[in-house]
Amino acid sequence: MQIPIISSYLAWGLIAIAYLIIGINFLLYTFVLRHKKCYQEESTILFFQIKSISILTIIGILCFLGNPSPGLFAGWIGSIFTHAIYSLLFLELWALSQGSFSLETLKHIESSGFDLNSQLILVELGNHKLTSRIMNLREGRLIFSDEGHWKLTRKGRAFYNLLKLIQSIPAIRNAG
């Protein structure tokens, strides 16, 4: 089966649009948004990536409705996956830039060796990261405090069960 030329051009056009949206996403965050306080939170960064990929999805749906062909569908799926890979990489690098425990450990060892003072600094970093994570989970209404004990909300339990299900599909074990 030969794919019509117009579908092929539209498919490559969608992939080009994906790269354009990725470029705009990166430049907008790098030069404008990262300096805003609200864009220093994980949930805002995630929502920013979701909005970006949603724009691409809508463009792809409109193109496909105008010209439903296998070639265009393949280009649309390729553009979505290209953006998804970018978004995952972006989120991972953003998280690392917020203070990776491993990078901080290596930094202390490289600069002054590893002594008791370094160990205390790293314990403080770990406590800060844990507190930050708990506050994010609370703000997302996934957990609540009940007489000093953190418990899952209904939404938190549903989210936890969804993650357990996803984790069980490829038989991932002990992922943190």
- Specify which residues 150 forms β-bridges with: 145
Give the per-residue pLDDT at 75.
Answer: 83
Tell me the pLDDT of the chain averaged across its residues: 80
pLDDT for res 24? 93
- CA gap 107, 114 in Å, rounded: 10
Report the alpha-carbon distance of residue 30 to residue 21 in Å, rounded.
Answer: 14
Q: What is the pLDDT of residue 173?
A: 56
Q: What is the largest CA-CA distance in the chain?
A: 69
- pTM of the predicted protein model: 0.59
**What pLDDT, in 10s, does the model give residues 86-95?**
998 888 887 7
Read off the pLDDT of residues 125-137 as tens digits, 9 standing for 90 and up: 778 778 877 888 8
